[in-house]
Amino acid sequence: MSAPASKSPATLHDVAREAGVSLATASRSLNGSTRKVNEAYRQRVVEAAQRLGYTTNLFAQAVAKGSTTTVALLVADIADPYFSSIAAGVIDAASEEGLVVTIAVTGRNAQRELDTVRALRGQRPRVMILAGSRTTGSAFEDQLRGELTSFEDTGGKVAFISQDAAPFATVLLDNRGGARDLAVALASLGYRDVAVITGPPEIRTAEERLEGFAAGLAECGIPLPADRIIHADFTRDGGYRGTQELLASGASVDLVFAVNDVMAVGVVSALREAGIVPGQGIGVAGYDDIPTVRDITPALTTVRIPLEDVGRRALQLATGSVHDAGAAPAPGEPAPIRTETIIRGSTPRR
């Protein structure tokens, strides 16, 4: 018990011997293969396998078959509800297809993202899904693209989430449109002096939401001066500090839009701490509709994204085109995901 006796797991060979059949028959019996197998034999093999507690060694199977059942998912931060909801969708859809999901965390760091992709390629995953990629425009962009292209060249499929990454498939979130609609809705509620807390400029998703929001405001004749745009990092703390910065600047503002909910929560917290009641003095809006924002006070106005579906779609987008090569049109085929503006207590009519 102290020294791990560690007999190795039963192998197919063991099963075959136990059942008194050949290796080939055992293999065929166990994975509903093309070739027929005498039902009586099949029975015996299955029983033998059960008796021995045998489970196919997926690695060996992968190397023999030359293809795996693995999906690699890269996220910036798994503890962020945005990503964990997406992950839930991916895992769910994957397990429906008998695929297994490997998750890696990039910590919003482009270098690390690249390294992670490289490392994950060693797993020869069928699919690689990138959510919250930070590489756009960074020094690593070309390398990342190269790595992914070569991954696809060798039979893999890649899917981006939210970011349109040109030759690669993407579950496109209409960030621009969603943010635009939000802006229009807020304008019609009477907001006029707006500030935005956005993400790092390398993150396309942040930029798109910012642009869309600005466009919506412009349509309503509301300006968005550059000094009202604050760059933060998608974290609650970033939203918090961004707000403090904003308040310190003395700008007179009646609305703060944070490009994701996590930061918006930080905004609310900072406002409150500064003695401003969010929603009364200053309205607050976010983006994503993570669960938390319904529960804080005031509940946050935001743009709802069906995050689990997004994850599911990403997987299907990737494996789907593996299944029926030919059906899907362009690989970047924009999968339209519906977003919805949700007005809550944090932005009452002014």
Nearer to DNA, 27 or 339 (CB): 27
The verdict on 327 binding a copy of itself (CB under 8 A) reads no
Span interacting with DNA, options 6-14, 88-96, 234-242, 253-261, rule CB under 7 A: 6-14
Indicate the length of the chain as a whole number.
350
Nearer to a copy of itself, 170 or 204 (CB): 170
Nearer to DNA, 43 or 280 (CB): 43
Q: 3-state SS string over 136-196?
A: CCCCCHHHHHHHHHHHHHCCCEEEEEECCCCCCEEEEECHHHHHHHHHHHHHHCCCCCEEE
Q: List CB contacts of 317: < 8 A, sequence separation 6 or more.
A: 159, 169, 171, 333, 335
Considering only the stretches 28-36, 238-246, 250-258, 280-288, report the one whose residues sit in contact with DNA under the rule CB under 7 A.
28-36
Task: Supply φ then ψ for residue 211, to 5 degrees.
Answer: -60, -50
From CA 209, how far away is CA 72, in angstroms rounded?
27
Closest by CA to 313, choosing from 173, 171, 130, is: 171
**Helix 81-96 vs helix 261-273: crossing angle, to nearest 10:** 160
User: Two tokens at 240?
Assistant: 């918090």
DSSP-assigned letter for residue 301: B
Residue 153 binding partner per list a copy of itself, DNA, none, with a CB distance cut-off of 5 to 8 Å that depends on partner kind: a copy of itself
How many residues form the binding site for DNA (CB under 7 A)?
28
Least distance (Å) between residue 65 CB and DNA: 5
**Is position 243 an interface residue for a copy of itself (rule: CB under 8 A)?**
no
Query: How far apart (Å, rounded) are the C-alpha atoms in residues 38 and 34?
Result: 13
Report the nearest approach of DNA to the CB of residue 62 (Å).
8
CA-based nearest residue to 302, from 265, 328, 266, 252: 265
Contact code string over 105-144 relative to a copy of itself, x by CB under 8 A: x------------xxxxxxx--------------------
Yes or no: say if 14 and 54 are a contact pair by the CB < 8 Å rule: yes
From the list DNA, a copy of itself, none, which binds 28 (C-beta under 5 to 8 Å, kind-based)?
A: DNA
- Pull the structure tokens for residue 260: 């994701």
Binding mask 154-193 for a copy of itself (x = CB under 8 A): xx--------------------------------------
Answer with the entry of DNA, a copy of itself, none that 84 interacts with (C-beta below 5 to 8 A by kind): a copy of itself
> Which residues in this chain contact a copy of itself in the complex, by CB under 8 A?
2-9, 53, 55-60, 62-63, 66, 68, 77-79, 81, 84-85, 87-88, 91-92, 95, 100-105, 118-124, 147, 150, 152-155, 236, 265, 268-269, 291-292, 295-297, 308, 325-326
- Please report, as ranges, the residues that interact with DNA according to CB under 7 A: 8, 11-13, 21-25, 27-28, 30-31, 33, 35-38, 41, 54, 56-57, 60-61, 63-66
